[in-house]
Amino acid sequence: MATTDKDVETSGFLGWIDRRFPLTSTWKAHVSEYYAPKNFNFWYFFGSLALLVLVIQIVTGIFLVMNYKPDATLAFASVEYIMREVPWGWLIRYMHSTGASMFFVVVYLHMFRGLMYGSYRKPRELVWIFGCAIFLCLMAEAFFGYLLPWGQMSFWGAQVIVNLFSAIPFIGPDLSLWIRGDYVVSDVTLNRFFAFHVVAIPLVLIGLVVAHLVALHEVGSNNPDGIEIKAKKDEKGIPLDGIPFHPYYSVHDFMGVCVFLFIFAAIVFFAPEMGGYFLEANNFVPANPLQTPNEIAPVWYFTAFYAMLRATTDPFKIVLMVIIALLGVLALLRGRGKWRFGLPVLALLVIVFMALTESKFWGVVVMGTAVVSLFFLPWLDRSPVKSIRYRPLFHKVFYGVFVFAFFVLGYLGTKPPSPASTLIAQICALIYFGFFLGMPFWTTRGRFKQPPDRVQFKPH
Q: What is the DSSP string of 169-235?
A: TTTHHHHHHHHHSSSSS-HHHHHHHHHIIIIIHHHHHHHHHHHHHHHHHHH----TT---GGGSB-T
Closest CA to 385 of 160, 57, 116: 116
pLDDT confidence band for 237 (50 / 70 / 90): confident
CB 304 within 8 A of CB 104: no
So what's the pLDDT on residue 221?
93
pLDDT at position 222: 93
Residues 342-351: tens digit of each pLDDT: 778 888 888 8
| Binding site feature residues | 96, 110, 197, 212, 217
Judged against a pLDDT cut of 60, whether residue 4 lies above it is answered with no
The pLDDT, as a whole number, for residue 330 is 81
| pTM of the shown model | 0.93
| pLDDT score of 3 | 44
Strands 242-244 and 35-37: antiparallel
Q: Residue 439 — very low, low, confident or very high, per pLDDT cuts 50/70/90?
A: very high
Q: Does residue 250 have a pLDDT over 50?
A: yes
Q: List residues forming the annotated binding site for a ubiquinone.
A: 217
CATH number of 300-442: 1.20.810.10
Q: Is the pLDDT of residue 88 over 50?
A: yes
Query: Residue 115: what are its φ and ψ, rounded to 5°?
Result: -65, -40
Average pLDDT over residues 2-25: 74
Strand partners for 244: 35
pLDDT in the model for residue 7: 45
Q: What is the pLDDT of residue 164?
A: 85
Residue 34 has pLDDT above 70, yes or no: yes
- Closest-CA residue to 80 (of 380, 338, 283, 360): 283
The CA-based dihedral angle spanning residues 387, 393, 396, 400, taken in that order and rounded to the nearest 10 degrees: 170
pLDDT at 335 over 70: no
148-155 mean pLDDT = 92
H or E segment and range at residue 295: none
The tens digit of pLDDT for each residue in 161-197 reads 888 888 888 888 899 998 888 888 899 999 999 999 9
At 9, is the pLDDT very low, low, confident or very high (cuts 50, 70, 90)? low
Per-residue model confidence (pLDDT) at position 345: 84
Domain residue spans in the chain?
Answer: 28-284, 300-442
| 378 closest CA partner among 440, 313, 299, 336 | 440
Mean predicted lDDT score pLDDT of the chain: 90
Over 90: is that where the pLDDT of 62 sits?
Answer: yes
The stretch 366-393 carries a mean pLDDT of 94
User: Greater confidence, 348 or 263?
Assistant: 263
CATH architecture of 28-284: Up-down Bundle (1.20)
Within this chain, domains 28-284 and 300-442 share the same CATH topology: yes
Q: What is the pLDDT of residue 58?
A: 97
Instruction: State how far the alpha carbon of 6 is from the alpha carbons of 25, 29, 34, 234, 239, in Å.
Output: 9, 13, 16, 20, 20
> What is the spatial distance between Cα 73 and Cα 71, in angstroms, rounded to a whole number?
5
Find out whether 185 and 290 touch, Cβ atoms under 8 Å: no
* pLDDT tens-digit readout, 271-291: 999 988 899 888 899 999 888
Q: Could you tell me how far CA 189 lies from the centroid of its own chain?
A: 25
The answer to whether 359 and 298 are in contact (CB under 8 A) is no
**1 pLDDT more than 60:** no
Q: Is 147 helix (H, G, I), strand (E, B) or coil?
A: coil
Q: Which residues are annotated as a binding site for heme b?
A: 96, 110, 197, 212
In order of 73, 315, 345, the CA distances from 359 in angstroms are 36, 9, 22
pLDDT on residue 8? 52
**Lowest mean pLDDT across 38-52, 293-307, 394-408, 434-448:** 293-307
Per-residue model confidence (pLDDT) at position 459: 63
Helix (H) or strand (E) holding 36: strand 35-37
Q: CB–CB of 53/267 below 8 Å?
A: no
Q: Is pLDDT of 460 > 70?
A: no
